[in-house]
Amino acid sequence: MRIQIINGPNLNLLGVREPEIYGRHGFEEYLQVLRDTFPDVQLDYYQSNVEGELINKIHEVGFDYDGIVLNAGAYTHYSIALLDAIKGVSTPVIEVHISNVHKREEFRHHSAISSACLGVICGFGLDSYRLAVDALLHKK
Ligand code: DQA
């Protein structure tokens, strides 16, 4: 089982950026916990602040990986290009957010990509990623 985790813009600053919202742990630190939780799953990780690079990664893995866990950051809310990328591949994509976007500013309530995703998980902190991997493992 191979799952690609993709983090979008500003998520390289996890642990530093707005810690009251996003927590005090960097993603690399959490990734080790995730890998220990799922020892039989190959969990690959990619982060970019550049929209086109996120699209390239979706294309690269989107036909032979078993799943993609995507936190597209702010691109979530307006990127039709990411929506089209997700629609264009066959690998199921789960949209994740660390924060509960529905409790926050109104512009975060809309997602441009949810309609192409298998499901959406938000609001559980970094544990949102574990829930997404778990959902992919139990997918029928
Ligand atoms: C986020 C929520 C987005 O609205 C925001 O732009 C992010 C992070 C989250 O994980 O909670 O960068 O995707």
User: What domains, with CATH codes, occur in the chain?
Assistant: 2-137 (3.40.50.9100)
- The pLDDT tens digits for 109-139 are 999 999 999 999 999 999 999 999 999 999 8
CA 64 / ligand 1 centre spacing (Å)? 27
CA 122 / ligand 1 centre spacing (Å)? 9
Q: Given 30, 65, 97, 129, which residue is catalytic?
A: 97
CB atoms within 10 A of CB 9: 18
Q: Which atom of ligand 1 lies nearest, measured to the CA of 100?
A: 11
- The pLDDT tens digits for 45-75 are 999 999 999 999 999 999 999 999 999 999 9
69 three-class SS:
strand
The model's confidence at residue 11, banded by pLDDT at 50, 70 and 90, is very high
- Is 6 touching ligand 1 by the criterion CB < 6 Å? no
Handedness of CA 102, 106, 110, 111 (dihedral sign): negative
Question: Stretch 10-32: mean pLDDT, rounded?
Answer: 94
Q: Do 95 and 72 form a contact (C-beta atoms < 8 A)?
A: yes
CA 97 / ligand 1 centre spacing (Å)? 6
Residue 102 has pLDDT above 90, yes or no: yes
Q: Calculate ∠ Cα 13-134-6, nearest 5°.
A: 30
- Is 10 touching ligand 1 by the criterion CB < 6 Å? yes
Tell me what percent of the residues of the chain surpass a pLDDT of 70. 100
Q: Do 13 and 47 form a contact (C-beta atoms < 8 A)?
A: no
Question: Is 22 an active-site residue?
Answer: yes
134 three-class SS:
helix
